[in-house]
Amino acid sequence: MRLRKKARQPLLHLLLIPFCLVWSYPFVWMLFSSLKTNVEYVGAGLRLLPESFQWENYSRAWTVARFSDYFQNSVVITVSSVLIVLVVSALAGYSLGRGELPGKRWILLGMAALMFIPKGYTIIPVFQVIKHLGLLNTIPGVILAESSGAHVIFILLFMAFYRDLPKELEEAAEIDGAGFIRTFGQVMLPLSKPVLTTAGIMQFIFTWNSFFVPLVFTLNKPELRTLAVGMYSFAGENSVDYTGMAAGAAIALVPVVCVFVLFQRYFVDGIAGSVKG
Amino acid sequence: MSIRRKRKIAWSYLFLAPQFVLLVAFTIYPILMSYVYSLYDWSGIGPLDDFVGLSNFRAVLEDSSFWNAFRNNMIYMFFLTVLSLPTTFVAALILNLKFLRGRTAYRTLLFLPVVTTAAIIGIVLKFIFGNDNALFNNVLISLGILKEPVGWLADPTKAMIVLIAVGVWKLFGMIMIYWLAGLQSLPSEVFDAAKMDGAGYLATVRYLTIPLLLPVATVILLLTALNGMHVFDMVTTLTGGGPYFATDMVDLYIYRYVFASGGFPQMGYASAAGIIFGLSIFALSVLLGGLVRVSGGKKARAEAGLGG
Amino acid sequence: MNRNKFILLPLLLALALTIALSGCSGSDSNANKNGNASGKGEAAATTGADSGKDPVTLEVWGRWEEMTSQINETISEFQQQYPYITVKYATVPAAQYVAQVQAAISGNTLPDLFGYNPAISTTQLSNLGVIQPINDVLTEEEKAEYYKGTWSQGYTVVNEDTYAFPLFNPMRPSMVMYYNKAALKEAGLTEADIPKTWDGLYEFSKKVKENTGGKIYGLVVGIKPQSFLSGVIMQMATAVKPEVSPADSFNYKTGKYEFNSPGIVQGLELFKKLQDEKLLHPNSLLMSYREGTSMMEAGQAVLTMDGSFLGSQLNKDKLDNYGAAPLPTLDGKPQYAAFQGESRVSLYVAKSTKHFEEAKLFLQFLKEHLYPKLVRDGIEYSPIPAVNEATKVENPIAEQALKIQSETFKLIPRPFERNQETLKVVVETSGKMPKQTLSDVIEGYLTGQIQDVNQVLTQLTEESNKVFESAIEKVRSEGGNVSPSDYAFEDWQPFTPYNP
On the question of pLDDT at C253 being above 80, the answer is yes
Whether residues C39 and A137 touch (CB distance < 8 A) is answered with: yes
For C109-136, write each residue's pLDDT tens digit: 889 999 998 888 888 888 888 999 999 8
pLDDT confidence of residue C45: 38
CATH number of domain containing B259: 1.10.3720.10
Write phi, then psi, for A200 (nearest 5 degrees).
-60, -45
Q: Which of B57, B116, B195, B219 to mutate to test the interface with A (most CBs of A within 10 A)?
A: B116
CA distance C387 to C381: 9
Query: Mind telling me how many Å the CA of A94 is from chain C's nearest CA?
Result: 22
Average pLDDT over residues B141-156: 83
On the question of pLDDT at C446 being above 80, the answer is yes
On the question of pLDDT at C431 being above 50, the answer is yes
For C200-229, write each residue's pLDDT tens digit: 999 999 999 999 988 899 999 988 876 889
- Structural domain C34-166+346-379, CATH architecture: 3-Layer(aba) Sandwich (3.40)
Q: Which of B43, B261, B269 to mutate to test the interface with C (most CBs of C within 10 A)?
A: B261
Average pLDDT, chain C: 83
Helix (H, G, I), strand (E, B) or coil at C302: strand
Q: pLDDT > 90: what percent of chain B?
A: 16
Q: Return the higher-pLDDT residue of C441 and A137.
A: C441
Strands (E), chain A: none
For B34-71, write each residue's pLDDT tens digit: 888 888 888 777 677 778 888 889 989 999 899 999 99
pLDDT confidence of residue A3: 57
pLDDT confidence of residue C12: 45
Contacts of C15 (CB under 8 A, 6+ apart): A79
User: In the structure, what pLDDT confidence band is assigned to residue B261 with cuts at 50, 70 and 90?
Assistant: low
Helix (H, G, I), strand (E, B) or coil at A9: helix
Q: Is residue B157 part of a domain?
A: yes
Q: Which of A75, A77, A132, A220 to mutate to test the interface with C (most CBs of C within 10 A)?
A: A220
pLDDT confidence of residue B73: 92
For A161-174, write each residue's pLDDT tens digit: 888 888 888 888 87
User: In the structure, what pLDDT confidence band is assigned to residue B129 with cuts at 50, 70 and 90?
Assistant: confident
Least confident of A199-208, B133-142, B260-269: B260-269
Find the closest chain A residue to C8 by CA distance: A197
Whether residues B244 and C102 touch (CB distance < 8 A) is answered with: no
By Cβ distance, the residue of B44, B262, B266 closest to C106 is B44
User: In the structure, what pLDDT confidence band is assigned to residue B132 with cuts at 50, 70 and 90?
Assistant: low
Helices (H), B259-296: 267-294
Q: Residues 131-170, chain A: which have Cβ within 8 Å of C?
A: 131, 136-137
User: In the structure, what pLDDT confidence band is assigned to residue A80 with cuts at 50, 70 and 90?
Assistant: very high
Least confident of A205-209, B233-237, C18-22: C18-22
On the question of pLDDT at C240 being above 80, the answer is yes
Of the ranges A196-205, B74-83, B229-238, C139-148, the best mean pLDDT one: B74-83
List of chains touching C (3+ CB pairs within 8 A) = A, B
User: Could you tell me which residues of chain C have a Cβ less than 8 Å from any Cβ in chain A?
Assistant: 4, 7, 10-11, 14-15, 18-19, 21-22, 25-26, 28-29, 32-33, 36, 39, 65, 90, 92-93, 95-96, 99-100, 103-104, 106-107, 109, 287-288, 290-291, 294
On the question of pLDDT at C457 being above 50, the answer is yes
pLDDT confidence of residue A82: 93
End-to-end CA distance of chain A: 40
Query: Mind telling me how many Å the CA of A89 is from chain B's nearest CA?
Result: 7
CA distance C399 to C378: 6
On the question of pLDDT at C172 being above 90, the answer is no
List of chains touching A (3+ CB pairs within 8 A) = B, C
| DSSP H/E element including C372 | helix C356-376
**How many domains does chain B divide into?**
1
On the question of pLDDT at A189 being above 80, the answer is yes
Domains of chain A, CATH where assigned: 1-25 (no CATH), 66-276 (1.10.3720.10)
Q: Return the higher-pLDDT residue of B289 and B106.
A: B106
Least confident of B220-224, C323-327, C480-484: B220-224
User: Could you tell me which residues of chain C have a Cβ less than 8 Å from any Cβ in chain B?
Assistant: 95, 98-99, 102, 105-106, 119-120, 124, 128, 224-225, 282-283, 285-287, 429-433, 435-437, 440-441, 443-444, 447-450
Whether residues C124 and B264 touch (CB distance < 8 A) is answered with: yes
On the question of pLDDT at B157 being above 80, the answer is yes
Q: Which of B42, B124, B254 to mutate to test the interface with A (most CBs of A within 10 A)?
A: B124
Q: Return the higher-pLDDT residue of A129 and B80.
A: B80
CA distance A274 to B200: 32
Torsion of CA C205, C209, C215, C217, to 10 degrees: 10
Q: Which residues of B touch C93 (CB under 8 A)?
A: none
Whether residues C286 and B256 touch (CB distance < 8 A) is answered with: no
Q: Which of A156, A206, A275 to mutate to test the interface with B (most CBs of B within 10 A)?
A: A275
pLDDT confidence of residue A224: 86
Query: Mind telling me how many Å the CA of C442 is from chain B's nearest CA?
Result: 9
Give A188's Cβ-side CA count (13 Å radius): 31
Question: How many Cβ pairs within 8 Å bridge chains A and C?
Answer: 81
Q: Is residue B1 part of a domain?
A: no
Helix axes B267-294, A123-132, angle to 10 degrees: 120
User: In the structure, what pLDDT confidence band is assigned to residue A277 with cuts at 50, 70 and 90?
Assistant: low
- Structural domain C175-340+413-487, CATH architecture: 3-Layer(aba) Sandwich (3.40)
On the question of pLDDT at C1 being above 80, the answer is no
Whether residues C29 and A236 touch (CB distance < 8 A) is answered with: no
| Structural domain range at position B224 | 71-304
- Which amino acid is residue B84, in one-letter code? S
Helix (H, G, I), strand (E, B) or coil at A63: helix
CB A249 within 8 A of CB B123: yes
Query: Mind telling me how many Å the CA of C287 is from chain A's nearest CA?
Result: 9
Find the closest chain A residue to B201 by CA distance: A2
Q: Return the higher-pLDDT residue of C152 and B75.
A: B75
User: In the structure, what pLDDT confidence band is assigned to residue B302 with cuts at 50, 70 and 90?
Assistant: very low
pLDDT confidence of residue C41: 35
Question: How many Cβ pairs within 8 Å bridge chains A and B?
Answer: 265
Average pLDDT over residues C434-441: 88
pLDDT confidence of residue B151: 80
On the question of pLDDT at A1 being above 60, the answer is no
pLDDT confidence of residue C2: 39
User: In the structure, what pLDDT confidence band is assigned to residue A150 with cuts at 50, 70 and 90?
Assistant: low
Average pLDDT over residues A38-63: 82
pLDDT confidence of residue A117: 58
pLDDT confidence of residue C42: 34
Average pLDDT over residues C381-404: 88
Q: Which residues of A touch B109 (CB under 8 A)?
A: 20, 23-24
CA distance C309 to C402: 8
By Cβ distance, the residue of A151, A242, A253 closest to B117 is A253
Query: Mind telling me how many Å the CA of B237 is from chain C's nearest CA?
Result: 13
For A54-77, write each residue's pLDDT tens digit: 888 888 888 888 888 899 999 999
Of the ranges A114-128, B77-91, C105-119, C378-392, the best mean pLDDT one: B77-91
User: In the structure, what pLDDT confidence band is assigned to residue A179 with cuts at 50, 70 and 90?
Assistant: confident
pLDDT confidence of residue A259: 85
Average pLDDT over residues B249-269: 81
Contacts of B273 (CB under 8 A, 6+ apart): A121, B60, B66, B250, B253, B254, B257
pLDDT confidence of residue C16: 43
pLDDT confidence of residue A128: 81
The CA distances from residue B151 to B140, B154, C352, C374, C442, in Å, are 13, 5, 49, 39, 17
Average pLDDT, chain A: 82
Q: Which residues of A touch B258 (CB under 8 A)?
A: 123-124
**Among C5, B178, B184, which residue's Cα sits nearest to residue A193?**
C5
Of the ranges B163-177, B210-224, B228-242, the best mean pLDDT one: B163-177
By Cβ distance, the residue of A63, A79, A255 closest to C26 is A63
For C16-55, write each residue's pLDDT tens digit: 444 434 333 333 333 333 333 333 333 333 333 445 678 8
Query: Mind telling me how many Å the CA of A29 is from chain B's nearest CA?
Result: 9
List of chains touching B (3+ CB pairs within 8 A) = A, C
For C254-286, write each residue's pLDDT tens digit: 999 999 999 999 999 999 999 999 899 888 888
Question: How many residues are recorded in chain B?
Answer: 308
Q: Which residues of A touch C14 (CB under 8 A)?
A: 255, 258-259, 262
Task: Tell me if C34-166+346-379 shares its fold with C175-340+413-487.
Answer: yes
Within 10 A of B202 (CB to CB), how many other CB atoms are there? 8
Least confident of A112-116, C51-55, C486-490: A112-116
User: In the structure, what pLDDT confidence band is assigned to residue A119 with cuts at 50, 70 and 90?
Assistant: very low
CA distance A154 to C473: 54
Whether residues A236 and C95 touch (CB distance < 8 A) is answered with: yes
Average pLDDT, chain B: 83
C322-325 and C346-349 strand pairing: unpaired
Q: Tell if the pTM clears 0.90, that is, is over it.
A: no
On the question of pLDDT at B109 being above 80, the answer is yes
